[in-house]
A and B are shown apart, each in its own frame.
Chain A
Amino acid sequence: MNTLIHDTGIVFTRELRPVLRDPFSVVFSMIQPLIFLGLFAPLLTQVPGLGAGSTLQWFVPGIVVMSCLFGASMTGSNLLMEMQTGSHERMLVTPLSRSSLLMGRALKEIVPVLLQAVILVLVVLPFDFELHAAGVVVGLAVLAVFCIGLGSLSYALALAAKGQDWIFWTVQQTLIFPLLLLAGMLLPVDAGPGWLQTVSKLNPLTYVVDVERSLFAGTFEAGELLTGTLAAVAVCVFGLWVGTRSMRAAD
């Protein structure tokens, strides 16, 4: 166990270094969420089901989750590149434990996600957005747990793709938009047909988005908090399980 924590720390530090050396890279991966914020949010004026607050109050938590979804789901491409260039193999011949190679990488996902969330909140602060700091902090903690799981799944996908870019990107792109739309991230699902609402309830991301919305609004509702946290923890545990298994099996 000690070895695992020690090794995970080494991998985490290694993964974090390029982010710290070049923090601007975090902003680049936010371009899509920022476009949605600028060009999509203004279209949401006459949409029913956005709750009592302003449009931004409803939309911003969704966009925060979206930037996490994009960032963490793409992170496997870094591993993919290192599998192609040889540096992943270099890590595999060191005495570092296989599980730590996955966990250190997955834990690092927290950092860009938090940085992006802070930037997004700062961007909308001058507009019609009310900041509930305590809610945002708890919300980001839940999101951090979720993105560890999602990042792990992305790494597992990279390992399964065996270094082939097209497999990775095809699967990632195919999954990301259904997940995003079915979680009611861009538009509320409540107004949709029954089958769509049912499918939406099967998407763990829905519960994460829901709890982020109420936390960002400053409400701590026990039921939502429970389901949202459970969904995040479930994705995290499942992701780490699949991810460490793939890393250990990787030849």
Chain B
Amino acid sequence: MVDMNTTMITTQDLTRHFTVNKRTVEAVRGLDLTVEQGEMVALLGPNGAGKSTTLRMLTTLIAPTSGRATVAGQDITGDPRRVRQRIGYIGQGNGAGHQQRGRDELVTQGRAYGMDRSAAQRRAAELVESLDLVEVADRKVSTLSGGQRRRLDIAMGLIHAPGLLFLDEPSTGLDPQNRANLQEHIAALRERHGTTVVLTTHYLDEADSLAERVVVIDHGIVVADDTPARLKANHAGDRITLSFGSGDEATSAAGRIGRAHRNAVVSRDGTVVRARVAGGTFLLPGLLHDLDGAGVPARAAEVSRPTLDDVFLNLTGRSLREGRAGTDVDQTRTTDSLEVSA
């Protein structure tokens, strides 16, 4: 075990290059990161941002090109075996061999972490119970459903009750119910055992609801690092959308809003005016009153709370959702809207 109040991860200028078709790709470029014991950190970024490469370096699966990292008190390049002893890792794939049986794999994992046979069997039985795998643990892994296999992956990652747990895209490919299930497990782990958790994700809601700290990574560097609430407050305002009776009215309203609120980013599109501004929900009533008085009443109004995607868009000029299937967009948006008829 590691002492309380200690730093779990520190990296200094951590860098990893890959050679792809004789070209050098800088997957991670001088990453500095510190994670304290008990933190729950999400590395958020689009595919190819360098999240997984970072995780693979921290879990000793690949060596850094340059830079240093200390994980659970051990240098990752000095003694990778001791790092592996102290960390848990749940990768993107299935930890259990498809030809194996789940319980057998759990026992093997326990043995790999130094337990004797009976201790490994006891621990396996415990995890089978707590992850609701009793009915399927003695079946061949290839016959399990995706959600069952994922629970088995978690069980394998937790076999030695690690103080530091890494999860690489834990909920990719899971249906919403299994995703919620998984998030509950991770949260419970933290509450009960004080486990430090570092996960990568490109699901915004996952980062938002699960992590207390979100590290936004893009092109291999950290572009922001804060709580979800502060990231949203500092890097994205509320989005106010107002509709008007005509384009002329909209133009005049946009000018008024811009002059009254210097911090707002205002744009007009036909009869619609959009303004991005901090504290939009509080500004809206006064804004509507002012526009009424000026003779350009809004016909409809809506305020959207900022999402982490807005944060990402603001920081990088790109949306995290670009190029992805739109199915989970609705789930990831947290919209408080209010309609005002004029």
Contact = CB atoms under 8 A, between A and B. Distances in A.
Do the two chains belong together in a single complex?
yes
Interface of A: 7, 10, 13-14, 17-18, 21, 78, 81-82, 84-87, 89-97, 251
Given A87-B98, A92-B61, 17 more contacts: A7-B112, A10-B111, A14-B104, A18-B99, A82-B97, A86-B94, A87-B97, A89-B61, A90-B95, A91-B112, A93-B59, A93-B91, A94-B112, A95-B84, A95-B112, A95-B113, A251-B61
Interface in B40-76: 59-63
B156 A18 contact: no
Contacts of A82: 97-98
A96 B108 CA distance: 11
25 contacts: A7-B112, A13-B108, A14-B100, A17-B100, A18-B100, A78-B99, A82-B97, A82-B98, A84-B93, A85-B94, A86-B92, A87-B94, A87-B105, A89-B91, A89-B93, A90-B96, A90-B156, A91-B112, A92-B61, A93-B59, A93-B91, A94-B113, A95-B84, A95-B113, A96-B112
B94 A10 contact: no
A17 B107 CA distance: 12
A86 B91 contact: yes
Contacts of A18: 97, 99-100
Interface in B112-148: 112-114
Given A87-B97, A95-B113, A14 B91 contact: no
B96 A93 contact: no
B85 interface: yes
B339 to A, nearest CB: 47
Interface residues of B, number: 31
**Lowest 6 A-B CB distances belong to which pairs?**
A86-B93, A90-B95, A94-B112, A87-B97, A93-B89, A18-B99
A95 B114 contact: yes
A40 B187 CA distance: 64
A86, A90, A95: which has the most chain B beta carbons within 10 Å?
A90
Contacts of A97: 81
B95 A87 contact: yes
A91 B109 CA distance: 8
Nearest to B98: A85
A10 B95 contact: no
B101 interface: yes
A38 to B, nearest CB: 29
A80 B114 CA distance: 26
Nearest to A251: B62
Contacts of A7: 112
Contacts of A13: 108, 111
A210 B112 CA distance: 41
Contact of B108 (A10, A78, A84, A92): A10
A58 to B, nearest CB: 37
Nearest to A18: B99
Contacts of A14: 97, 100, 104-105, 108
Given A85-B94, A90-B91, A95-B81, A21 B59 contact: no
A90 B112 CA distance: 11
Nearest to B86: A95
Contacts of B96: 87, 90
A96 B112 CA distance: 6
B157 to A, nearest CB: 8
A59 to B, nearest CB: 33
Nearest to B109: A94
Contacts of B113: 94-95
A235 B96 CA distance: 31
Given A86-B91, A86-B93, A97-B81, A251 B63 contact: yes
A95 to B, nearest CB: 5
A158 to B, nearest CB: 14
A95 B91 contact: no
A86 B169 CA distance: 13
A180 to B, nearest CB: 27
A82 B105 CA distance: 13
A78 B113 CA distance: 23
A92 B105 CA distance: 14
Contacts of A17: 100-101, 104
Nearest to A94: B112
A18 B81 CA distance: 28
A21 B99 CA distance: 10
Contacts of A95: 81-82, 84-85, 112-114
A251 B59 CA distance: 12
B59, B95, B105: which has the most chain A beta carbons within 10 Å?
B95
B83 to A, nearest CB: 9
A82, A84, A89, A251: which has the most chain B beta carbons within 10 Å?
A89
Contacts of A10: 108, 111-112
Contacts of A251: 61-63
A96 B95 CA distance: 15
A94 B84 contact: yes
A18 to B, nearest CB: 4
